[in-house]
Amino acid sequence: MIDVLIIGSGGAGLTAALNAKKNGSEVLVVSKTYPTHSQTCQAQGGINAVLNETNDDNNQNYINDTYKASHNLGNQKNIKYLCENSKNTLMWLDSIGVPFSRNKNYGIAQRKFGGTKAKRTCYSSDYTGLKILHTLYDQCIKEEIEFLNEHYLLDLIVEENCVKGTIVLNMQTSELIQIAAKTVILATGGYAGLYHQFTTNSFVSTGDGIAAAFRAGAKLSNMEFIQFHPTTLENKNILISESARGEGGYLVDKDGNRFIDELKPRDEVARAIFKKNHDGEKVYLDLRHLGIEKIQEAMPQERRLVIDFLNLKMEEDLIPINPSAHYTMGGIETDIDAKTSIKNLYACGECSQSGIHGANRLGGNSLLEIITFGQVAGKNASDSAKEIDDLSISDIQYKKNEKQIEEIFEKETNLDYLKIKKEIGKLFFVNVGLFREEKKLIKALDYINKKKEEISKIGIKNKDKIYNKNLIELLELKNLITLCEPILLCAIERKESRGAHYRVDFKDKSLEYEKNSVCLLKDGKIKNYFEDVL
Amino acid sequence: MNIKIKRFNSEQDIDEIVDYDIKDNKTILESLIEVKIKYDESLAFRCGCRTGICGSCSLRVNGVEKLACKSKLNENDLIEPIKNTKVIKDLIVDLEHESKLLKKSNTFLNKLEETTISKEDEKLIDTQSNCILCQSCFSSCPIYEVNDKFLGPYALTRALRYVDDKKESHKVQTLEKIQDNGVWDCTLCGNCTMVCPQFIDPKTDIMNLRMKSVQNGFEDRSMQYMTGAGFAGGFDTGFDPTGGFNPNGF
């Protein structure tokens, strides 16, 4: 029997797997892609850590910066754990072979990111996520961790508020499999993919784990906080990491004038750019003064992307940019032990709301979070599994999912689900984007309620059983639509502006809302409320 | 514009090249999405990041491996799945060999050497550790036609990445694992180098691994292979005068 079942094979999932295995558990990783196809590979800029406490920087500064960026919604205990442990986390990554860029003194090189005064972000040129992910994968192969690739999570098996496994769909055969497990870790990533065609995220980031947890009754929290990255290639939504500004790049308007401190937190920088874009003005990233040598050394990938997708050279040209949906601060509520509100269900990485980022995430904190809480989740899930001897499961959930898939295959449809996905992406960018107001949010909610109804009735034209991508895409869209309601309800209820959530009808922060929003499904109905930040 | 796509569907017994009329898109991936929306939603292909870093969308364009998200489409381009593995549907192939090849090649840090790492040390493995495991090199490699046990270019490049890593204290352990069906089986045709979207040069990496193998006391098997191919010695062209495998096409 499986002790620890991990859903998701990005940085968080692989770290959890390694730690659970190290702790003596039987581990299985289920992934809807292949591990190295995960979103983690897209993280370019770096991973934060205080490597040496000096006059320039120390753990307390790091804690303060992270808490400040969270706009008082971060959990101070969890932030303290993340920051004080950051050196250990980095040293662990370094010890398993992550090739971090080095400085002249044989130490791990660090650069400055927004929202901080210190050089605190460690990196591997601008391939940081890629190199961390691949090194973790290599270690998983070494440790003979078992993978079920291209298996899609349908639902969690939860009985009496205790998780007992999952139902997954083999994407290559369309067969359903029930997997019993003593404990389950969700590491399935965020939901910025909702902003289809307005996001830096991979096509595979569709919030599946969060939606499944929500259906199973787990508490979701702070779903309205969605981070827009200030600098993505114009109309392409391809990320140009914060490292470009961290290394000294400027943001300039059409006249070549700088208009904002480039190293302010992301929410402020993104809004300033969007405002100009909205007024019909172009905004550019200017890196020309850095010189080719620096650019080649610090951001080879980004230089390549600019050549490939815009046919421009960073060292010679101004790079037109716009903000795109990039990271979702909300997710499954977890505590410092990575526990969710469902017994034996753990969550880590972007799918979790672990009390670190609050209303706004600092660049370089997401990679640190996935590794730190991946370790925590792996160890704790493994410990919990050791206390369980027996696991009895009914087939109720399996039958429910079996019926659901059969119905999708049987139903005919005239509705184009790909068109709906596109419509939702645009609707969210316009109405639930960098600037929000009640009437637009309500308009979006009305649309979503209508689509929810429509999409429940549709099937797929393609009836093949072997690798039916349409089936997966429809299920993914249903998951995204499932998450739209919590996002919108929380965004409507939060009648203030805080971090990434900016309301033009409530432009200031309000003490009344210095709380985490919560959404959960109870008896088929969504309950949403605010709770105190612990 | 016209795009030709090799379609395969075992359920419907389809194995054919189909032409589609599409607009002038920026990338092949955008063209595939257009075909899916406009003509046939069942068209199956993998894609993820859209930025050439997740490695999921590799395919062949007129016989040459490319990433769909980064490559431009030209009139009448023929799009096919990558080679040397089973096609599951349309452009989707089985990738289960990946972890097996990496495991056999011992491509991970065996044991940490407590040491200092300089900028130069890190630079030495920078290019190799940029590999995205897109399988382009694997697909382009002609050796698999005669030896399906060959460890292949990306696994060997990754082996060099760890052999050259100053943090690795057990380099010989990795070198040992790549002697059989590994460094000596490569014909150095360079196809892998030509198609790598990350500008990695697996051919040179394999030559480096041969040198390091010999330096560490492993037998130089290059001559043995040359003799087998009918040469008395000299340079390795991969040319087989008996009419067998000929990667260079002459």
Chain A interface includes B15 (CB < 8 A): no
Residue A508 pLDDT > 50 = yes
Q: Are residues B110 and B57 in the same domain?
A: no
**Domain A395-532 class, CATH top level:** mainly alpha
Interface of A with B in 211-250 (CB under 8 A): 238-239
Q: Does A130 touch chain B (CB under 8 A)?
A: yes
Asked if A310 has any chain B CB less than 8 Å from its own CB, the reply is: no
Q: B117 and B178 share a domain?
A: yes
Distance CA A370, CA A23 (A): 19
pLDDT tier for residue A265 given thresholds of 50, 70 and 90 = confident
Number of domains in chain B: 2
- CATH code of the domain covering residue B39: 3.10.20.30
Residue B120: CATH number of its domain: 1.10.1060.10
Average pLDDT over residues A341-347: 98
**pLDDT for position A498:** 97
B244 has pLDDT over 50: no
Q: Which domain holds residue B88?
A: 2-93
Same domain, yes or no: B129 and B165: yes
Q: Please answer yes or no on whether A41 and B132 come within 8 Å at the CB atom.
A: yes
Domain spans of chain A?
A: 234-325, 395-532
With respect to residue B200, please indicate whether it lies within any of the assigned structural domains.
yes
Residue B241 has pLDDT above 90, yes or no: no
What confidence tens digit (pLDDT) does each residue in B142-186 have? 999 999 999 999 999 999 999 999 999 999 999 999 999 999 999
Asked which of B64, B93, B122 is the last residue of a domain, the reply is B93
Q: How close B108 comes to chain A (CA, Å)?
A: 5
Which architecture, in CATH terms, is A234-325?
Alpha-Beta Complex (3.90)
Per-residue pLDDT tens digits for A101-130: 999 999 999 998 888 889 999 999 999 999
| Nearest by Cα to B50 from A198, A293, A12 | A198
One domain for residues B81 and B103? no
> Do the domain assignments include residue B233?
no
User: Is residue B171 located within the same domain as residue B184?
Assistant: yes
- Residue A116 identity (one-letter amino acid): T
In a domain, B247, yes or no: no
Asked if residues A2 and A181 have their Cβ atoms less than 8 Å apart, the reply is yes
Q: In this structure, are B218 and B110 located in the same domain?
A: yes
Measured between CA atoms, how close is B224 to chain A, in angstroms? 32
Shared domain check, B179 and B104: yes
Which residue of B47, B94, B110, B129 to mutate against A (max A Cβ within 10 Å)?
A: B129
What distance in Å separates the CA atoms of residue A345 and residue A153, rounded to the nearest whole number?
14
* pLDDT band, very low/low/confident/very high, at A416 (cuts 50, 70, 90): confident
Q: Rounded distance, CA A170 to CA A184, Å?
A: 18
Buried b (16+ CB within 10 A) or exposed e, B3-38: bebbbbbeeeeeeeeeebebeebebbbbbbbbbbee
Percent of chain A surpassing pLDDT 70: 100
Same domain? B75 vs B138: no
- Tell me if B54 and A37 make a contact (CB, 8 A cut-off): yes
Interchain CB distance below 8 Å, B44 and A467:
yes
Distance CA A86, CA B152 (A): 37
Mutate to test the interface with B, among A18, A100, A138 (most CBs of B within 10 A): A138
Give the residue from chain B lying closest to A149, CA to CA.
B96
Q: What is the mean pLDDT of residues A451-473?
A: 93
Q: Are residues B200 and B112 in the same domain?
A: yes
Q: If contacts are CB pairs under 8 Å, which of residues 169-208 in chain A contact chain B?
A: 172, 202-204
Show residues of chain A in contact with B26, CB under 8 Å.
309
- Whether residue A103 and residue B56 make contact (CB cut-off 8 A), yes or no, is no
> How confident is the model at residue A413, as a pLDDT?
76
For chains A and B, count residue pairs whose Cβ atoms are closer than 8 Å: 137
Encode pLDDT of A351-404 as tens digits.
999 999 999 999 999 999 999 999 999 999 999 999 999 889 999 999 999 999
Please tell me the predicted confidence (pLDDT) of residue A242.
Answer: 87
Residue owning tokens 């364009």? B61
Are B66 and B104 contained in the same domain? no
Q: Which residues of B touch A468 (CB under 8 A)?
A: 42, 44
Question: Residues 81 to 100 of A: which have CB under 8 A from any B CB?
Answer: 94-97, 99-100
Q: Mark out the alpha helices in A432-522 (DSSP H runs).
A: 438-456, 469-493
Residues B82 and B130 in one domain: no
Are the beta carbons of A150 and A343 closer than 8 angstroms? Answer: no
> Which residues of A are tagged catalytic?
266, 271
The string of pLDDT tens digits covering residues A165-211 is 999 999 999 999 999 999 999 999 999 999 999 999 999 999 999 99
Where does A280-344 have alpha helices with state H? 291-298, 300-310
B112, B142: one domain: yes
